[in-house]
Chains A and B, each alone.
Chain A
Amino acid sequence: MVSAKIIKYSPWLLHFNTGACNGCDIEVLAALTPYYDPERFGVRLAPNPRHADVMVVTGAVTKKAGERLKRLYDQMPQPKFVVAVGACAISGGIFSGSYSVLSGADKVVPVSMYVPGCPPRPEAILYGIVKLLSKLDGGRDE
């Protein structure tokens, strides 16, 4: 197993919407724009899951999207981490209990960081990612 430390200098993000209302998506997008500029931390969007280190999941996980979430996670190289952004991705939020929703992302893949909010501010998303990186500094393996 490669040490998780190696990704902390430049983690590449994969953004996956599992059935969100787009509120969190536009905030994730806003977090990548000039006002917040995450490339200061080496963070950038990965073009496909095989290049990605950190998966950002937004939205309540629907049954159809749940299968795809698992598949995308399996395609990512080790070490890999999942950040659940927004109430829906954490616990299903307001959509928990619906017939087509599985509830939170942690039912499908292991989640290392929860970012509460509906939707969280772009800064809160950055805070979550930076906190995840500083946790890696401790050298803990996944």
Chain B
Amino acid sequence: MSKVLDFLRSLGLTQLESKQPRRYVFEVSADRLREVIAGLIRVNENLYVSAISGVDYVSEGFIEVNYCLWVVDEKLMVILKVRVPRESPKIPTIYDLIPGALNSELEVYDLLGVVLEGNDRLRRGFLVPSEVASQGLFPLRKDFKV
């Protein structure tokens, strides 16, 4: 059996079902995220951050951030779903644990306004034009009007 999945299940995380093969989706709270990822690297260091994808659920009032990690030798994708309130979206950074998460963290901050606490390289204007950034708007939030 897979070491990574055994570890995640041993933490008592809620597993959500996924229709696609080789995708394992877990719910994690923001304050446990660093602990989970540090543990994952300890169990199997052959994993990389495939993407960090934020979705703004405006009517429910939260932003869901999907940490998609591909485990190279076990050939499976672990997806950690972190939900944070829209008003003050804050998640601790994982950039120091996995250096390859840098670009994805910068992007999530610039486009959705999720603050990755502890990442000192966050800045506006990484991707969005300055006139949008200077108004303090985040383009991928659902209340942003084109």
Q: Which residues of A contact B (CB under 8 A)?
A: 62-64, 97-100
For the complex formed, measure the closest distance between the CB of A60 and the CB atoms of chain B, giving whole angstroms.
Answer: 13
B131 at the interface (CB under 8 A from A): yes
**A97 B129 Cβ-Cβ under 8 A:** no
**A63 B146 Cβ-Cβ under 8 A:** no
Q: Which residues of B contact A (CB under 8 A)?
A: 128-132, 139, 144, 146
For the complex, give the distance between the alpha carbons of A98 and B144 in Å.
Answer: 12
B144 / chain A contacts, CB cutoff of 8 Å: 99
For the complex, give the distance between the alpha carbons of A97 and B146 in Å.
Answer: 7
For the complex, give the distance between the alpha carbons of A78 and B130 in Å.
Answer: 32
**A62 B146 Cβ-Cβ under 8 A:** no
B139 / chain A contacts, CB cutoff of 8 Å: 99-100
**A98 B146 Cβ-Cβ under 8 A:** yes
For the complex formed, measure the closest distance between the CB of B121 and the CB atoms of chain A, giving whole angstroms.
Answer: 20
For the complex formed, measure the closest distance between the CB of B119 and the CB atoms of chain A, giving whole angstroms.
Answer: 23
For the complex, give the distance between the alpha carbons of A79 and B109 in Å.
Answer: 45
**B129 A64 Cβ-Cβ under 8 A:** yes
For the complex, give the distance between the alpha carbons of A100 and B139 in Å.
Answer: 10
For the complex, give the distance between the alpha carbons of A99 and B132 in Å.
Answer: 8
For the complex, give the distance between the alpha carbons of A17 and B128 in Å.
Answer: 18
Residue of A62, A64, A99 with most partner-chain B CB within 10 A: A99
For the complex formed, measure the closest distance between the CB of A69 and the CB atoms of chain B, giving whole angstroms.
Answer: 14
